[in-house]
Amino acid sequence: MIELPRVIGHRGVAAHAPENTLAGFKAAAGFGLDWVEFDVRLSRDGVPVLLHDDTLERTTNGTGPVVAQTVSELKRLDAGAWFDPRFAGESVLTLAEALDAIHELGMRPNIEIKTNPGEAWRTGRVVGATLDEAWPPGRPRPLVSSFVLRCLMGFRQERPDLPTGLNVWRRSRWQWSLGAGILGSVSVHFSERHVTDAQIRAVKAAGRQVVCYTVNDAAKARSLYARGVDAVFTDAPEIILPVADKIQP
Ligand code: G3P
Ligand code: MG
């Protein structure tokens, strides 16, 4: 069992630096966060890279689907200038590069697996295989999560020893519970807008942790913690940390 902290940086800390970049991880460490979440998907040549969307337009100066480009093509893109010109020159990170940086910064990773169409199982397996070398035994364990059960099943085929978290899209009566049970997940991650008290109770009764995404409002965080939520993902730790510090574990 791993114990998650009250506050997890979201895509690095996405309010302060371009998401899923080295600058974002440095900013997260600067806030004193112990964990950061980021998103990975496969390049055309099967390398896990840190990109949230399935297309490049929003977070880079590239165009088209991520899956149409090789990792060396993706590495030539700028992943920072769209956020602010002072971040020009940030590159698209590979999973291995991100894990190195996060370890160097003294943090732990929550790797969220995204999938290109039809690649869920394979993406999970590749992420698992990448961790064999990129996150050596002896380091504190990472958390690997996804909205897509097949990603996590593929991951567990490679690395049944590592903890998983299941992301849940919206209100759902039973699918998430079944999925978390099949996976033996340590945590279930709900939208802060849709999570219900019944879901919180059920997850905790099963011995798992409840995490909510994405919380950037102090009153909302206070209310979620009071309802039993264990941790939140945030883009803005300066807003959430003061609230979290007042909560007794
Ligand atoms: O992993 C939690 C959260 O990041 C899920 O949503 O769309 O921000 O990846 P998204
Ligand atoms: Mg994510």
H-run or E-run covering 39:
strand 35-42
| pLDDT of res. 2 | 92
Whole-structure pTM value:
0.97
- Give the separation between CA 29 and CA 155, rounded to whole angstroms: 27
Ligand number, closest to the Cα atom of 39: 2
Confirm whether 203 is domain-assigned: yes
| pLDDT of res. 3 | 93
| pLDDT of res. 173 | 63
Confirm whether 54 is domain-assigned: no
| pLDDT of res. 245 | 79
What CATH number has the domain bearing residue 205?
3.20.20.190
Ligand 1, atom nearest to 52 Cα: 9
Confirm whether 186 is domain-assigned: yes
What is the phi-psi region of residue 11: left when phi exceeds 0, alpha when psi lies from -120 to 50, beta otherwise? left
| pLDDT of res. 202 | 94
Closest C-alpha to ligand 1, atom 2: 213
Answer whether 35 contacts ligand 1 (Cβ < 6 A): no
Q: How far is CA 127 from CA 71, 131, 162, 174, 223, in A?
A: 15, 6, 12, 27, 35
Confirm whether 134 is domain-assigned: yes
| pLDDT of res. 248 | 60
What is the phi-psi region of residue 135: left when phi exceeds 0, alpha when psi lies from -120 to 50, beta otherwise? beta
Q: How far is CA 47 from CA 67, 108, 123, 163, in A?
A: 10, 21, 9, 22
Confirm whether 63 is domain-assigned: no
Confirm whether 143 is domain-assigned: yes
Longest dimension (CA), the chain: 48
Ligand 1, atom nearest to 112 Cα: 1
Closest C-alpha to ligand 1, atom 1: 112
H-run or E-run covering 104:
helix 95-104
Confirm whether 133 is domain-assigned: yes
| pLDDT of res. 172 | 65
| Structural contact between residues 107 and 28, judged by C-beta atoms closer than 8 angstroms | yes
Taking 50 as the pLDDT cut, the residues of the chain under it are: none
Which of 39, 54, 110 gets mutated to test ligand 1 (max ligand atoms within 8 A of its CB)?
39
Confirm whether 77 is domain-assigned: no
Ligand number, closest to the Cα atom of 231: 1
| pLDDT of res. 169 | 86
Tell how far the Cα of 112 is from the centroid of ligand 2, in angstroms: 6
Tell how far the Cα of 213 is from the centroid of ligand 1, in angstroms: 7
Answer whether 167 contacts ligand 1 (Cβ < 6 A): yes
- Give the separation between CA 142 and CA 146, rounded to whole angstroms: 13
Ligand 1, atom nearest to 114 Cα: 9
Omega before residue 123 within 30° of 0, cis: no
Tell how far the Cα of 151 is from the centroid of ligand 2, in angstroms: 14
Closest C-alpha to ligand 1, atom 7: 52
Q: Which two tokens stand for residue 188?
A: 């279930």
| pLDDT of res. 161 | 96
Indicate the number of domains in the chain: 1
Residues involved in catalysis: 10, 52
Q: In terms of residue numbers, what domain contains 110?
A: 7-43+96-245
| pLDDT of res. 249 | 56
DSSP category for residue 87: G
DSSP category for residue 139: B
Tell how far the Cα of 170 is from the centroid of ligand 1, in angstroms: 12
